[in-house]
Structure 1
Amino acid sequence: MTSLPITSPGSWVFSGDVPAVFVDHARHSVPLYDAGHDLVCDLSTCFLGGDQPRVGYELGSATGQLLRRLAGHGPANAATHWIGVDREAAMVEAAREHCAGLGNVEVVAGDLTEIAFQPCDFVVAYLTMHFLPPGQRRQVLRRICQALRPGGAFFMFDKVLAPGAQLEDLITTLHYRFKRNAGLSPEEILDKKESLLGVLRPVSTDDNLTVFEEAGFTSYGTILKYLAFEGFIAIK
């Protein structure tokens, strides 16, 4: 496994050389990384299809691994126009290269807090929203809900905080063991934690559910969870 270029506390970025090693690192760091991709692809088929042209988004599309899978996951997905959004130029370039040849995929450079969403049917944010400050997260979720057509859905996979210090400490310990067993060294684990200080901004499950309600979603809940990582579905 190739290590990420980490230098100092609060220094985490997705630019530079990160795209070349991003997927491999994520698989060694995030439980259920690929299983979550499987789930969201199957989930997407429940909200696409019919005679009306469909639009789907992946917010924070990184190197385009999930975007490419979504775009080809069955006839309804292949007939949907997929828009991948990322603010890092290196990620946009990597995603465009990975999705080359797919006529139903568009990858754009943009900031989630500023882009204008088209009317859409399915939106995915996979390990993306927890990098936004809570206030911006509320605004983005409100705009996503407004852009979704009635019956459309938003899937979010994020790191979350446990309800209480003791449980948070236990889950963190188990997560570090997961990383160590996956091949990361103690130094790499600590360096990554320090690099994310002030950059990663997770909130609790209850806080996420409250924001979904405030944004205008009518039905929402957890459909995937392992340690500190949780997948939510919110339906308009």
Structure 2
Amino acid sequence: MTDSRDTLFADPASDRGLFTFDEDVARVFPDMIKRSVPGYPTIISMTGLLAGKYAIADSNLYDLGCSLGASTLAMRHAIRQPGCRIIAVDNSPDMLQRCRSIIETDTHETPVDLHCANLQDVAVANASVVILNFTLQFVPPGQRDQVISGIYAGMQPGGILVLSEKLSFNDKRLDDLNIELHHQFKRANGYSDLEVAAKRTALETVLVPETLQQHRHRLVSAGFSSCDVWFQCFNFASLVALK
């Protein structure tokens, strides 16, 4: 299966409406996220490292919002504990179909279960590792507390949650600066001003970012004993939370 270059927002005559993870996005997703999210390859590789460290024998590892399975594969190749199972969830049938094809070409023995579902409907259980890489930001804000609380309840003591998100900033000058730096990052990766503006419009009401303070407060309120940022570039960050 060949991945394509992302030109979905390059045609000024096309109106894609609100951003959705449809077949067109699934086809170009590896190129899109690499050129759009600063530090994405590092976050994925470190997801594997963290999973290898915190996976507990005979437990479940969750990739919630698995897209095409990058985090799933990173975890799968790093796990050394016996009896582990990866549960990968996404609510886009088009993304999950491509993810299944990619997973099927991988020969690692750790079993992977793929499920098409909304995060709000996933019952996390017996989890030692849970990955939320750029997923919670697409959940309606009023339902995010429920998602994180449900994850905490389904985790084993000593487990880890990795939460990666696009951020907003309370200070408007810092918010404007980080948005502009992100746009410059995308231009440096070959996106035109038209593409940057068109995608921002398409995502405006679909991806709702929050501040680091909001994320930390939600994690602590859910019960996580320790949480902090381990990676940040511009307005993209990844946190770890320990139970």
Q: TM-score, normalised by structure 2?
A: 0.91
Q: Deviations over 1:170-200 (max 9, x none)?
A: 1111111100001111111001100011111
Instruction: After TM superposition, list the pairs within 5 Å mapping 1:210-221 onto structure 2.
Output: 210-221=217-228
Q: Distance in 2 between matches of 1:18 and 1:10?
A: 13
Partner of 2:137: 130
Partner of 2:202: 195
Q: Distance in 1 between matches of 2:227 and 2:38?
A: 22
**Residues 200-209 or 7-16, more deviating:** 7-16
Instruction: State the aligned residue count.
Output: 233
Q: Distance in 2 between matches of 1:10 and 1:36?
A: 29
Q: Which runs of 4+ in 1 moved over 2 A?
A: 4-10
Q: Deviations over 1:144-186 (max 9, x none)?
A: 0000011111101100112310111111111111000011111
The one-letter amino acid paired with 1:75 is: R
Partner of 2:73: 68
Partner of 2:193: 186
Q: TM-score, normalised by structure 1?
A: 0.93
Shift of 1:73: 1.6
Q: Deviations over 1:113-153 (max 9, x none)?
A: 11222221100011101111222110000000000011111
Instruction: After TM superposition, list the pairs within 5 Å mapping 1:20-31 onto structure 2.
Output: 20-31=27-38
Shift of 1:102: 4.7
Would you say 1:34 and 2:41 are equivalent positions? Answer: yes
Where 1:223 maps in the other structure, the secondary structure is strand
Would you say 1:141 and 2:148 are equivalent positions? Answer: yes
Where 2:78 maps in the other structure, the secondary structure is coil
Percent of residue pairs identical: 27
CA distance change for structure 1 residues 10 and 161 in 2, over 3 Å: closer, same or farther? Answer: farther
Q: Deviations over 1:56-78 (max 9, x none)?
A: 000000111221121112423x7
Where 1:75 maps in the other structure, the secondary structure is coil
**Residues 119-128 or 62-71, more deviating:** 62-71
Q: Distance in 2 between matches of 1:74 and 1:111?
A: 26
Partner of 1:43: 50
Where 1:151 maps in the other structure, the secondary structure is strand
CA RMSD of aligned residues (A): 1.7
Where 1:82 maps in the other structure, the secondary structure is strand
**Preserved CA contact (<8 Å) 1:56 1:80:** yes
Question: Which residue of 170, 176, 186 maps to 2:177?
Answer: 170
Q: Distance in 2 between matches of 1:194 and 1:67?
A: 30
Partner of 1:87: 91
Q: Distance in 1 between matches of 2:242 and 2:17?
A: 34
Partner of 1:114: 121
Structure 1 segments unaligned to the other structure (5+ residues): none
Structure 2 segments unaligned to the other structure (5+ residues): none
The one-letter amino acid paired with 2:97 is: E
